[in-house]
Homo-oligomer: A and B are copies of this chain.
């Protein structure tokens, strides 16, 4: 059960609500987000909502049978929109495109890509500076300096930045240079990181774990929301199956199911979803027709020279063609 509190509720009235719930052996978690104050109430007996709804200071009250609560569509059927400023809104019905290299490599590389984004009317740039790599001996990213450099160039061009954060201690140093924090697939159940991202007021995109279920993904989102951050989106990026021809199996089923179970925007990552450059555009297109709110993909001036993920990264021409195709079908979506 989710109780939305009135903003100006008195502490005496809160106390009465708590007492009423605890009398029913309900555990209560208080959640204050950027926008609202909630009580998440979990118990075993069925409570007649009317016996609580009349209490002072309650704005609204919802039954939610899912084990995740705040991210469920059972209480909030309107889809969440995330406003990044400059009229860039995720989840408003037009597909949001996010593009950029796997890793930030150099000033020159960033400037070429920014130019490409501007030309193609893409408003959000992806680019990793902290890179989770299977091998400890591989390139692990340029770190915070790479982010600052990226930020400088993006800012001049009104481009927003999405980049991966790998641990709690990085949040503070990154926050001024980031528009969307990305939680990578390997950290999808790193609960301390999720907790910490719930305590800031910046949008977060959580990727599904490599073998994460839909339920687990929504619970991970619940971690963030329940610590106070409503500006969330979730990302399907392919799952691990027995098929070895592609890096991952893009789970197109997940997109509509997520849209049905949760009010959060759903972003598709076809680059990781199939992992083979030539097939990325078709998966991107398919995911939009399956209901995705946007697409995040990898692009690089010379994919074959990229520090990482070159085999799944589009070059500028391929990227341009994809954007053109998406523009053609935009009204049909």
Contacts and interface: CB of A to CB of B under 8 A. Distances in A.
Interface in A116-170: 132-137, 166-169
Interface string A222-255: 1100110000000000011111111001111111
A120 to B, nearest CB: 20
Interface in A196-241: 209-211, 213-216, 219, 222-223, 226-227, 239-241
Interface in A270-302: 273-274, 276, 278-279, 282-283, 285-287, 289-291
A135 B189 contact: no
Interface in A319-333: 328-329, 332
A241 B252 CA distance: 13
A243 B239 contact: yes
Interface in A35-88: 40, 42, 67-69
Interface string A99-114: 0000000000000000
Given A137-B40, A137-B42, A242-B240, A211 B213 contact: no
B213 A244 contact: yes
28 contacts: A29-B137, A40-B137, A68-B135, A133-B191, A134-B219, A135-B219, A136-B223, A136-B226, A136-B227, A167-B167, A167-B192, A210-B211, A211-B240, A213-B243, A215-B245, A239-B242, A241-B241, A241-B242, A241-B251, A242-B242, A243-B253, A245-B257, A249-B251, A250-B252, A252-B252, A252-B283, A256-B279, A257-B279
Interface residues of A, number: 71
